[in-house]
Structure 1
Amino acid sequence: MLSLGLKFEQENRLLLMDPKALPHIFYNSGYRYSKPTGIQVILGTVSGLGLFHAEGEDHRRQRKIVLPGFGSRELRTFVPIFCSYAGRMTAYWGRIIAADNSEPAVIEVTSWITRALLDATGEAAFDYQFGSLDNSETELAKAYAHMA
């Protein structure tokens, strides 16, 4: 097993790189391992105190409620939506790169991917158009942009 130990913010951490250990921790071990404190704080700040932040029995209960809408059959129907937004995002990148500038193009990939995911998730899960890729002025898009 490949691993690396380190101390970060007064907590011992074990970083695993073993392809057999990771599925054990994330899928097979139930709720035996908890998220590091720093990760919990970040998730709570960014996504609220919902499914991504929850641990143990709270997570199990929330996941049971949400899972029927996000099973493998349901997710397959969302693939075209996500592909559409990925295509729109890369088209925007193409226009940025093709712009007639004397300086090299700089693309903030993380920001673009976050916006594309927000739009795709909004359409797929809630049938809501955030318009984040198009710099729309919807209240929700503005709030999310302010948060991110």
Structure 2
Amino acid sequence: MLSLGLKFEQENRLLLMDPKALPHIFYNSGYHYSKPTGIRVILGTVSGLGLFHAEGEDHRRQRKIVLPGFGSHELRTFVPIFCSYASRMTAYWGRIIAADNSEPAVIEVTSWITRALLDATGEAAFDYQFGSLDNSETELAKVYAHMA
């Protein structure tokens, strides 16, 4: 097994790069290994305080609720939806970059990704157009814009 030990933010860490250990941790025994605090902060910032951020019993409960909607068949049908929103988002980025020739363009990637994720999830899960990428005036898009 290939591993590397290090100290980060006053905590001991073990970084594994073993092809047998990683599936054991991520798929078989994930609840025995907590996410590092820094990773949880990043996940909470990017995706909110939901399933990706949750640990232990909270994660089990949330996963049990959402799992039926994410089988292999369902995911195959979602791919074109997510690709469509990714394409729209990058098209917006292209326009931002092209519009500002005097200075380098600044793109708030986290904000754009969370908005694209909201729109794609809304369409895939609820067949609803939130319109947050388009700065739509829907109530949820407005609330979500203030949260992100």
How would you bin the TM-score normalised by the shorter chain? 0.7 to 0.9
- Structure 1 unaligned blocks of 5 or more: none
Q: Does 1:125 align with 2:141?
A: no
Q: Which piece of structure 1 moves more, 126-135 or 2-11?
A: 2-11
Relative to structure 1, the CA distance from residue 102 to residue 109 in structure 2 (aligned partners, 3 Å threshold; closer, same or farther) is: same
d(CA) in 2 for partners of 1:142, 1:107: 20
Indicate conservation of the 8 Å contact 2:5/2:15, yes or no.
yes
Relative to structure 1, the CA distance from residue 140 to residue 17 in structure 2 (aligned partners, 3 Å threshold; closer, same or farther) is: farther
Show structure 1 runs of 4+ deviating over 4 A.
37-50
Indicate conservation of the 8 Å contact 2:81/2:124, yes or no.
yes
Indicate conservation of the 8 Å contact 2:81/2:120, yes or no.
yes
Cα deviation for residue 16 of structure 1 reads 3.0
Q: SS at the partner of 2:132? A: coil
Q: Which piece of structure 1 moves more, 38-47 or 123-132?
A: 38-47
Cα deviation for residue 5 of structure 1 reads 3.0
Indicate conservation of the 8 Å contact 1:46/1:147, yes or no.
no
Cα deviation for residue 66 of structure 1 reads 1.8
Q: Which residue of 1 aligns with 2:23?
A: 23
Q: Residue deviations 1:87-129, cap 9 Å, x none?
A: 1112112212222622233333333222211211111112232
Relative to structure 1, the CA distance from residue 17 to residue 103 in structure 2 (aligned partners, 3 Å threshold; closer, same or farther) is: same
Indicate conservation of the 8 Å contact 2:118/2:130, yes or no.
yes
Number of equivalenced pairs:
148
Percent identical: 97
Q: Which residue of 1 aligns with 2:45?
A: 45
Q: Which piece of structure 1 moves more, 134-143 or 9-18?
A: 9-18
Q: RMSD in angstroms over aligned alpha carbons?
A: 2.9
Q: Which piece of structure 1 moves more, 77-86 or 16-25?
A: 16-25
Relative to structure 1, the CA distance from residue 64 to residue 36 in structure 2 (aligned partners, 3 Å threshold; closer, same or farther) is: same
Indicate conservation of the 8 Å contact 1:6/1:12, yes or no.
yes
Q: SS at the partner of 2:31? A: coil
Relative to structure 1, the CA distance from residue 54 to residue 116 in structure 2 (aligned partners, 3 Å threshold; closer, same or farther) is: closer
Q: Which piece of structure 1 moves more, 118-127 or 27-36?
A: 27-36
Q: Residue deviations 1:5-63, cap 9 Å, x none?
A: 33344432223344443222111225222233555566678767653444344433432
Relative to structure 1, the CA distance from residue 6 to residue 138 in structure 2 (aligned partners, 3 Å threshold; closer, same or farther) is: farther
Relative to structure 1, the CA distance from residue 43 to residue 98 in structure 2 (aligned partners, 3 Å threshold; closer, same or farther) is: closer
